[in-house]
Amino acid sequence: MKRKYVVITGGVLSGLGKGIAIASVGYLLSSLYKVIPIKCDGYLNVDPGTMNPIEHGEVFVLDDGGEVDMDFGHYERFLGITATSEMNLTMGKVFSKIREKERRGDYLGKTVQMIPHVSDFIKNYFKDMGKKYDADIVLIEIGGTIGDMENELYISAVKSLAREVGKENIVFLHLAYIPILKSVGEQKTKPTQQSISLLMQRGIQPDIIIGRCSQKLTQRTKEKIAIHAGIDPDSIITGLDVDDIYKIPLVFESQGMSQLLARKLNIKIKPKISKWKEKIINREKAEKEIIIAIAGKYTNLEDSYASIKEALNHCSSELGVRINLKFIDTSENDFDLRDVDGVIVPGGFGTRGTEGKIKAVQYCRENKIPFLGICYGLQMAVIEFARNVCKIEDANTTEVDPQCKNPVVDLMEEQKMIKEKGGTMRLGSYPAILKKDSIVYQLYKKEKIHERHRHRYEVNPRYHKIFEEKGLVLSGMSPNRLLVEFIELKDHPYFVATQAHPELKSSLMKPAPLFLGLVKAAIKKKYQNK
Ligand code: GLN
């Protein structure tokens, strides 16, 4: 089979869920084909690692240490692949490559221009990636909204890709918004029509249009859009608002998405959706219900903790329990954990909210509330233990107090020389060796495990011994035994923390073990005496 390309663009508004839409399409294709994603971002940062999560949402980390957009979480979870950082193209990356080539003299004295040089570079990147990964199908997500200046070169690139590979080997999906005006209760197609016009002005005719809407699109709506786009009304699909992103592949499939793709690309498609469906039903018919608190500082943007929410969703499906989240802002003085069944202290950076996180850990330790600490959460748990159990009252991390006399969490040796902020943390997948009789060993069911990391600071090896003497179990260490990867407490229903980010590898079919442990403990806490 010739390699196929599926391109998605967005119209009208940002935030319509292009990433989830293309990942869902990829899921339908992935039962028979090798599918890889390429996400194209228009910004000039090389990667999102240096961007504030409040502005940009969570930074997702890959096995290879790449810091990418949270859409990669959807790609990995829906396609069942391990993505790599080169699957994320940003204009920052494109321009630094073009500059390198120009300085090397690769352009042989030519004037280097946006079109064709930059757009050809992007087009060749798509083709080379397909070749390198031996992909049957390459998904290309073009970030932003059609008409945005910063994405124009990506659009030129896919236009020329289409000319090169031929109509039957590429399909263009366009996701746009269909508002319903309250006063008239009518589905309005004008914004979508205009975004289709913008696409067509750039030489691209969409093959399939997904109309994001709070209701099923009516036949009349479909016909209006179809006339405008010059396609069949059957090629218009409702991107229905749903309460659960995992329903999207099913929503698409129930409207014949895979048949549409099969027809356009002239291939066979046989989606496997029964197990997926089962998982969703399991969550929907859940009778038990628990509350898990996420005690962090970026609580005003839930996207900052997207993968943690996902990992909890996966547990919810696996264990058939409804999980209600309670976001706690630890930079506020007063917060109440009395009604919760479990607490997560997530990753974070800087000073704000740290004392509140330490208080939250203390509350969980003393009141035997199931607790999971992630990255900064582990560091906070260590500081709490040092202060309140080991009585090292001024214990802190040098991230908060650089002059601290008892830096129980300190900058890693290799980090002390680093001045650049982008891409310089301890990033990506690292192994840990788990203690045989520990809770984490029981959860992972093996001795050597791999999880993803994103941090600069570490538990200071000078204090390992005193912690162990006072009862903190260092239940997982780096193979050279210098770095603490997991800690836990005995005589507590579930007090576990890790320096890693296990939420990043969780999926619907394989929830992250540490999250399963937390949720099981929370269920037990709530229901054991009832
Ligand atoms: N700020 C801490 C560090 O750099 C923790 C980072 C995190 O939680 N991802 O080590």
Three-state SS string over 274-322 comes to HHHHHHHHHHHCCCEEEEEEEEECCCCCHHHHHHHHHHHHHHHHHHCEE
pLDDT at 193: 97
If pLDDT is split at 50, 70 and 90, which confidence band does 297 have? confident
Are 51 and 1 in contact by the 8 Å Cβ rule? The answer is no
Backbone angles phi, psi at 56, to 5 degrees: -115, -5
What 3-state class would DSSP assign to 176? Answer: strand
Q: Which of 375, 399, 451, 455 is catalytic?
A: 375
Neighbours of 512 (CB within 10 A): 26
Alpha carbon of residue 324 to chain centroid: 20
Q: Is the CB of 399 under 6 A from ligand 1?
A: yes
If pLDDT is split at 50, 70 and 90, which confidence band does 417 have? low
| Superfamily name and number for 4-272 | P-loop containing nucleotide triphosphate hydrolases (3.40.50.300)
Lookup result for tokens 């706690």: 328
* CA 412 to centroid of ligand 1, rounded, Å: 11
CA-nearest of 515, 521, 491 to 389 is 491
Q: Which amino acid belongs to residue 237?
A: I
Which string of b and e fits 245-280 if b means at least 16 CB within 10 Å?
bbbbbbbbbebebbebbbebbebebebebeebeebb
User: Whose CA is closest to atom 1 on ligand 1?
Assistant: 349
Q: Is the CB of 246 under 6 A from ligand 1?
A: no
Residue 54 has pLDDT above 70, yes or no: no
Average pLDDT, the chain: 93
pLDDT per residue as tens digits for the range 445-498: 999 999 999 999 999 999 999 999 999 999 999 999 999 999 999 999 999 999
Rounded to a whole number, what is the distance in angstroms from the first to the last CA of the chain? 59
If pLDDT is split at 50, 70 and 90, which confidence band does 300 have? low
* CA 337 to centroid of ligand 1, rounded, Å: 24
If pLDDT is split at 50, 70 and 90, which confidence band does 273 have? confident
User: Whose CA is closest to atom 3 on ligand 1?
Assistant: 455
* CA 455 to centroid of ligand 1, rounded, Å: 4
Residue 419 has pLDDT above 70, yes or no: no
| Maximum C-alpha span of the chain | 79
Residue 529 has pLDDT above 70, yes or no: no
Lookup result for tokens 């946006």: 114
Name the pairing type of β-strands 495-498 and 371-374. parallel
Helix or strand run (H / E) with residue 163: helix 152-165
pLDDT at 524: 96
Burial bucket for residue 329 (CB in 10 Å: 0-12, 13-18, 19+): middle
Burial bucket for residue 3 (CB in 10 Å: 0-12, 13-18, 19+): middle
CATH number for the domain whose boundaries are 285-527: 3.40.50.880
Query: What are the E-state strand segments in 116-272?
Result: 137-142, 170-177, 180-181, 186-187, 208-213, 236-240
Q: Is the CB of 352 under 6 A from ligand 1?
A: no
pLDDT at 302: 61
Which string of b and e fits 91-125 if b means at least 16 CB within 10 Å?
bbbbeeebeeeeeeeeeeeeeeeeeebbbbbbbeb
Phi-psi region of 45 (alpha: psi -120 to 50; beta: other; left: phi over 0): beta
* CA 69 to centroid of ligand 1, rounded, Å: 18
| 62-87 average pLDDT score | 92
Pull the structure tokens for residue 387: 């202060």
| 154-169 average pLDDT score | 96
Is 375 catalytic? The answer is yes
Task: Tell me where in the chain the CATH 3.40.50.880 domain(s) lie.
Answer: 285-527
Residues, the chain: 530
Least trusted range by pLDDT, from 112-121, 255-264, 292-301, 454-463: 292-301
Task: Tell me where in the chain the CATH 3.40.50.300 domain(s) lie.
Answer: 4-272
